Amino acid sequence: MKEISVLGLGYIGLPTASILATNGFVVHGVDVSQPVVDIINKGGIHIEEPGLKTLVQAAVNSGNLKAYSQPQMADVYILAVPTPITEDKKADLSYVGAVARAIVPLLKKGDLVILESTSPPGTTQDFLCPILAESGLTLGVDLLVAHCPERVLPGKIIKELIQNIRIIGGLTPQSAEQAREIYATFVEGDIHLTDVTTAEMVKIMENTFRDVNIALANELAQIAPQLSINAWEVIRFANLHPRVNIHTPGPGVGGHCISVDPWFVVEKFPETAQLIAQARHINDAMPEYTYQLLLDTIKDIPNPKVTLLGVTYKPDVDDVREAPSLKILELLQRNPSIEVAIYDPHVKHFEYELSGLEAAFKNSDCVLLAVDHAEFRFINPRQVASVVRHPNVIDTRNALSRKDWQEAGFNYRLLGEDATSQVRMAQPESVTFFEDRLFSTV
């Protein structure tokens, strides 16, 4: 069995290292963060992901996984470090550069280096390979190099690591073949081999496809009110067509993948990647659009209080990276006459103060739902109506029952329609509440 070094023990590296270890490989996990190394060596985890703790414990207890803060010699090196963007939307490859330079002194003939980090097209060939060449080894002959992008969904990482189809790009066919041998030990999905740049572009285009699709929905959400129709109804009916799948609108696109990866293409091809850039701009403008909707709703209320429901980048997770709510809050901060109370049942640490549910609603003049966390459907609007100052609610995700909120006396506004839209569409069903509770289900 080959020895494997996994460098970067975050959301991607840690599950990968653990799965390899439980499949019999001797795995050296490496992370620059000493606290991360210490936690893992005790069988613990430093990130939240269902099933991960059990997997890491099994890997560490088997004796096959040990974490280090310095790179360790191995036969295969898997690089899973961050690839964020800078303020000016350029790829930050400093982590990939640092980790590649760190393994150069350890490389020997016959080794395989696999880049897993999502990377701009050309990164493996033009950025990683020149660094690895400093080892003196002939790339593609003495030292094999591959790119195997990771496409798992947070919350389902363990399941998808095993079941997803994998795309492996090799610097040479032998590089791809060697990488396939490693992944085939635990991947149940099909494994497809290609070249490194195609593999890089596959991952980026998957996320770009979704970004462009969401931008289309967001553009429709701004057109539909001007026609006095409902964007959600248009999407629902259009999607009944067998070859149409329009995504849904919302207050913006966040997270560290969909809102980041398309910029990798725009940076390289600013003249050509017009549609991709435009989609990014449309989605990035949605927090401002949502903010204007809010201002319009509270325009006649002096010193209003706004209740922001949900701050994460998507429902039912605790991750706030690049979340649209951050931009909405930034805009609200510029308006000192508006008081803001934030409630998110999933988030424990946030750069703004968080409130309890009841305190968030008390004396509120407008509730703004920015994330469709499952719990929000079960907020009792009649109880909310009894504590707010003005019963206004803006639903940016079509997550609340219009009927329930209107019957409780609320002025219900949905992103993607105006007040005069003819509403025939099926909306989230009405919920039965315990009369005396704010947050209740039967």
Site residues (vs ligand NAD, CB under 6 A): 7-13, 30-33, 36, 80-83, 95, 98-99, 102, 117-118, 150-152, 154, 256-257
Nearer to ligand NAD, 152 or 311 (CB): 152
Residues in the chain: 442
Tokens linked to 345: 């049942």
- Rounded to whole angstroms, the maximal C-alpha distance in the chain is 74
Among residues 66, 129, 148, 257, the one annotated as catalytic is 257
Question: Which is it for strands 305-309 and 339-343: parallel, antiparallel or unpaired?
Answer: parallel
Closest distance of CB 316 from ligand NAD, Å: 14
Nearer to ligand NAD, 76 or 257 (CB): 257
| CA pair distance 161, 155, nearest whole angstrom | 11
Nearer to ligand NAD, 257 or 414 (CB): 257
Asked if 255 and 321 touch (Cβ cutoff 8 Å), the reply is: yes
Tell me if residue 203 is catalytic.
Answer: yes
Q: Which residue's beta carbon is nearest to the bound ligand NAD?
A: 10
Tell me if residue 257 is catalytic.
Answer: yes
Closest distance of CB 47 from ligand NAD, Å: 6
Residue 177's CB is within 10 A of a number of other CB atoms, namely 14
Closest distance of CB 69 from ligand NAD, Å: 8
Among residues 129, 148, 203, 327, the one annotated as catalytic is 203
Closest distance of CB 439 from ligand NAD, Å: 30
Nearer to ligand NAD, 7 or 112 (CB): 7
- Determine the 3-state secondary structure of 413 from DSSP: strand
Nearer to ligand NAD, 207 or 325 (CB): 207
Nearer to ligand NAD, 168 or 229 (CB): 168
Question: Which is it for strands 144-147 and 112-115: parallel, antiparallel or unpaired?
Answer: parallel
Cα radius of gyration rounded to whole Å, the chain:
24
* Among 281, 400, 223, 118, residue whose Cα is nearest residue 391: 400
Closest distance of CB 408 from ligand NAD, Å: 38
What is the separation of C-alpha 7 from the centre of its chain, rounded to a whole number of angstroms?
21
**Pure H helices in 373-431:** 381-387, 402-407
Closest distance of CB 344 from ligand NAD, Å: 20
Nearer to ligand NAD, 92 or 284 (CB): 92
Closest distance of CB 282 from ligand NAD, Å: 22
**Residue 134: phi, psi to the nearest 5?**
-65, -15
Closest distance of CB 328 from ligand NAD, Å: 23
Nearer to ligand NAD, 49 or 372 (CB): 49
**Catalytic residue numbers?**
203, 257
